[in-house]
Amino acid sequence: VFLSLQLFGTIVWILVASTRVPLPLLQGWVMFVAVTAWFLSIVFLCVFLFGYANRISVNWNQTDFLFHGATFVFYFGAFLLQAATTSLHHFPRKFNSTTQEKILADHEYNISIAASV
C-alpha cells in the first residue's frame, strides 16, 4: 500500500510541477499535499522495513487508518483545487489590448487533467 502511495504521489508531484502555475496558491497546496504524503509514506515504509514498528509501542492499525484517512482528505482537497485550476482553461488572460492568451495552454491543460485524476 505504501509503495502505491509512493508511485502515485510521485506522479502527481511530477505532473503538477511540469505545468506553468497560473494560480500559485491553489497549485501550491496540491504540491504541499503530494510532497508531504510522499515523505510521510517513505517514513512509514522505513519504520516497517527496518523493524522499528516492533520497538515502538503504538497501535499501528489505528495509526495506519488515521494516516490514510488524513491523506484521503488532503488529496481530495488537492483534487478539487487542481480541478478548479484546470477548469479555468477556457478563460482568456489579457496581457495587453491586442493579444489574448489562455490561462493554460493545451499541453498544460492535458497535464492538469492527468494530475487531477
What pLDDT sits at residue 33? Answer: 83
Kindly state the cell numbers that stand for 42.
517513505
In order along its 117 residues, the chain shows pLDDT tens digits of 667 767 777 777 777 677 666 666 677 787 788 788 888 888 888 888 998 888 988 998 999 899 989 989 998 988 888 788 778 777 666 655 566 667 677 777 787 777 777
- For residue 2, CA distances in Å to 9, 85, 101, 107 come to 10, 28, 41, 31
Number of structural domains in the chain: 1
Supply the range of the domain harboring residue 103: 1-115
**Where is 93: in which H helix or E strand?**
strand 92-94
pLDDT of residue 66: 93
Q: Tell me the one-letter amino acid at 57.
A: S
* DSSP-based helix, strand, coil % in the chain, nearest 5: 75, 5, 20
pLDDT of residue 23: 65
